[in-house]
Each structure stands twice: as structure tokens, then as C-alpha cells.
Amino acid sequence: MKTIYTAILATLLTASTIASEPIILSDSAVENLRIETTEAIPQNFTESLFAIGRIDPIPARKSILSSRIPGQVVTVSAHEGDQVAKDQILVEIESLQPGNPPPRIPLKAPLPGLVMQSHTHLGKPVTPDTELFEIIDLSQVYAVASLPEDQAGKTHLGTLANIKVAAFPNQAFTGELIRYGTEANPANGTIDAYFLLENEASRLRPNMRTEFSIVLDSKANTMSVPKDSVQTDGINTFVFVEDFDLKNAFVKVPVLAGSRNSTHVEILKGLFPGDRIVTRGSYALMFAGSGTVSLKEALDAAHGHEHNEDGSELTAAQKQEQAAANSNSPANGFSQSSLVWFLSILSSLLAVLLVLSLATRRKA
């Protein structure tokens, strides 16, 4: 069914007009619309699945520090947000056991990591049930994607994802799918997918918001364009291509679009390598009409001779008519309009003389 649908679209595309009349803009219009172009070239294209999610700590890298001996806190060497090393002394407990002075027990960090929570202070009574510190090693974290159930089957263990974190918009992270959640969420019909991320300098923190571009397939030498280049009028899909001959001229070219990912759209038909496509300002061109410069003016300037209003070349007969019209101007240097004014004034003078002549005769 999909093959038949694609074939019908390709037939309609072939039967349609290959390119519309160019939209020709002035230099200032191009600058105001911020038009930018790039060359269309075959490249690697990845089909991807979009999802949103969060950063989670790895449970095996989490530790709670407590004391097996009751007593009282006498020194505190770490606080929330501190990065601590393994076996670093974080707190000392003065034991309730008799002694002069009473024995002190140092408590050390069981693993390297970040102090996420501190539940202690100087003088606080301590029992074996008291949690003093929560420490998490964030050198690796989970990026957890909420996958729609009907899309989860397209992924598998080992699937890669390009991950963006809202806190670091200019940096991309790469993660590998290592496991799925134990159950789906019935409220929104999703299942968690856990991607393992290396977390240099522990910059990624739990519950940070993330966006996923999960790689489902990769194709080499595929014609694709930035998604902002592709426009639609509700029926047809098209891109704007820079005219190879006319300056600041852009042609609306119908295309057949294929798969999409978070940044690009696959083009199955309609573009050729080397075409310069509009990557910025494409939407504005949809409402630019015929542009700010006429087709005749643009072609006259580009080719150095006159054209018809529709852009076609003047025929031999049209050139002869134009030459004949130019040769009809008076040889004495008066233009046709000047000649008309001269004849009008002469006629007026003759009329005045005629009236004066009739008046003189009546008096006689």
C-alpha cells in the first residue's frame, strides 16, 4: 500500500509544473528577509524517533552514610553539593561509650561522588538508624526516554540516541540503550528506555529535562535538506531553489519528501545535486508574491538586452516594430509630444486671427 501511495505521489509530482515563475527580490528585500542558501548534496541521513525524558542517577552508584555506633556529631567536613573522594572523612562521631576523652569514630565516604543531601550538623545525636549523607557517583548517568508503546518495538538494546539537555543547549550527548523499564505507564501509554551516558565533570544532574533523537536507520548518499527548507500549502510540498542565472531570484520547486528526523527531511524526487536551496527565509518567500523586481527588469539586467514582460526573448518581428517606432520621431529634434503641443498652439493662434478678421469686416 505504501509503495502504491509513493508511486501515485511521484506521478503527480512529475505531471505538475516543474517550477513556477521566479520570485525576484531586491538586495534590500533579501537582507530584510534574511535569506540564506546552501548547496544540496547527497549525505548520510538517519531516520530517527523523537522522545522526551529526564536524567536519572544509576541506583548502583548511590550510597547512604550512617553510623553503627550511637553518639554525637563533633566535626562535619562535607556539605551538600561537595564533590568527595572515596575514603574521605566526612564526619566524626563522639561515641557514648565511656572514656576520657570519649572515643571518636571517623566516618568515610564509601564511594566518590557528589553529596546530594546532608542530614547532619554539629551536636546532632546519632543512632544506627540516622542517615547522615546521601552520596551519588554521577560519572555515569541514565538518560531515560519515555517511548510511546507503539514505537518502542522499533528500538533494541544497543540502539544509539543523540540527546540534548535543556541546561546545555549547545552540546549534544550520545547514549546507548541498555534496558527498558519493568512496566509501561498506563496514564500516557509510554515505556521508559534507559540510555547510558558518560557524564564528564558530573555536569548532568538528576531530573534535568532531555530530548532524544533515537537513531532507527541510517542511509548513505541520500538527498536531504534542513527541515526549515521544506514548505507545504496543504497539498503540495516544495522548496525554494536559487535561480542559477538571475540575481536574487528564487523558484518554488515541488518535491517528494520521504523520512524525517529532528533536523532534516529526505527528498526522494525534485532536487538535483548542486541546487542551491533556501535554508532560512523559506517561509517568508511563500508570501513574497512575484517579488520586488519584475521578471523583465531582472532579465534585461542579467542579459544586457530587452525582453518581453513575461521574460521571453523579443522575436525578430517585435524588434522591427520597436525599431520602426523609434524611427518615427521628428527629425528636427521635437519628440511626438512636443509636436502635438506645437500644432495645438498653432491651431489656437489661427482661430484667434480668424475671429479678429471677421470682427474687422463687420465694422467695415
Predicted confidence (pLDDT) per residue in 84-95, tens digit:
999 999 999 999
Give the pLDDT confidence of 115-151 residue by residue, as tens digits: 999 999 999 999 999 999 999 999 999 999 999 999 9
Average pLDDT, rounded, for the chain: 84
299: pLDDT strictly greater than 80: no
pLDDT at 218 (0 to 100): 86
Q: What is the pLDDT of residue 325?
A: 63
Cα angle: 322, vertex 328, 330; to 5 degrees:
145
Over the stretch 38-81, which tens digit does the pLDDT of each residue have? 999 999 998 889 999 999 999 999 999 999 999 999 999 999 99
Query: What is the structure's pLDDT at 261?
Result: 83
Amino acid identity for residue 71 in this structure: G
Residue 290 pLDDT > 70: no
106-131 core/surface letters (b: 16 or more CB in 10 A; e: else):
ebebebbbbbbebebeeebebeeebe
The residue ranking higher by pLDDT, 347 or 105, is 105
Distance between alpha carbon 233 and the CA centroid of its chain, in Å? 20
Q: How many angstroms separate the CA atoms of 362 and 364, rounded?
A: 5
Q: What is the pLDDT of residue 97?
A: 85
- Whether the pLDDT of residue 274 is over 80: the answer is yes
Each residue's pLDDT tens digit, 207-256: 999 999 999 988 899 999 999 999 998 889 999 999 988 888 999 999 99
CA separation, residue 189 to residues 106, 113, 148, 201 (Å) = 49, 35, 6, 35
pLDDT tens per residue, range 303-343? 455 656 545 666 767 666 766 666 655 544 445 556 667 77
Best CA proximity match to 196, nearest among 27, 72, 55, 5: 55
List of domains in the chain: 2-44+223-285 (2.40.420.20), 59-136 (2.40.50.100)
